[in-house]
Chains A and B, each alone.
Chain A
Amino acid sequence: MVQYNSSYLDASFAALADPTRRGVLEYLGRGNASITDLAEQFHMTLTGMKKHVGVLERAGLVTTEKVGRVRTCRLGPRRLEEEAAWIEKYRRLWAARFEALDDVLEELKRRDTAGDHEQGK
């Protein structure tokens, strides 16, 4: 389990308290975007958007990378952890299913080795 210290949590809550920043997270969930794209999308100055992205970045919700003159933003490790948690639940469902399938297969193997040449279907 990942432990968060309280200052990290405070940063997350503060970051999420703002509707524009929640909008940015939702937007980045659909694909990466540059600060310029985001500023346009949310009708904001570049400086204003940089501040919002900075808050999200410090909270670990967004990461940015500068390539040439463009700074690209993508969802950060915290969002990826949520996805990992969901995938783990999905895995457990299948693991439980497959354990039950193991039992069914043992039965079928016993039936087949019992010698009576029953048709498969």
Chain B
Amino acid sequence: MKHQTTVERKSDRELVVTRIFDAPAHLIFEAWTRPELFKLWWVPKSIGLTLLSCEMDVRVGGGYRLVFDWDPEPIAFFGKYLEVTPPVRLSWSNEENQDGSVTTVTFEEVDGRTRVVVSDLYPSKEALDEAISSGSTGAFPEQFEQLDELLATLGAGA
């Protein structure tokens, strides 16, 4: 059974995504911090993008870099890990944009199920408003028009 994914604009500068998983927190943490697992789900097949490379140095101050195949040239997403506390908390910066957010994920396990909360905290209300009005979809830039269309048609049931 699929669990509901909810998104809420928690404040002027924060977006929060919440979802329950039928798995213990340590497995989700593992899937989030081992590149060979991470790349299996971070870019779902339905989105039709190719991840060319995925480097993750998961420790405080360590960097990550994701490169997507794109025309005319590949697009990189990068930043640093700010907090790495297995299996309860993971935080990183998004530095590909000047006013990028800081993403913090918390994993709360209860009876073998885990509630995952992803918070995207922007430096200002203007930065989040700008992300919204430019149509960039959070972790993906506005160039990904195909993604835009895809998301518009993708089953809303999930």
* Interfacial chain B residues near A105, Cβ < 8 Å: 21-23, 27-28, 31
Number of interface residues of A (CB under 8 A): 30
Q: DSSP class of A's interface residues: helix, strand, loop or mixed?
A: helix
Q: DSSP class of B's interface residues: helix, strand, loop or mixed?
A: mixed
Number of interface residues of B (CB under 8 A): 46
Binary contact track B114-146/A, C-beta < 8 Å → 1, others 0: 001010000001100100110101111000000
The number of A-B residue pairs with CB atoms under 8 Å apart is: 107
* Interfacial chain A residues near B147, Cβ < 8 Å: 93
Would you give the shortest CB distance from A12 to chain B, in whole angstroms?
Answer: 17
* Interfacial chain B residues near A13, Cβ < 8 Å: none
* Interfacial chain B residues near A120, Cβ < 8 Å: 26, 30
Chain B residues with a Cβ under 8 A of chain A: 2-3, 5-7, 9, 15, 17, 19, 21-23, 26-28, 30-31, 34, 37, 40-47, 116, 118, 125-126, 129, 132-133, 135, 137-140, 147-148, 151-152, 154, 156, 158
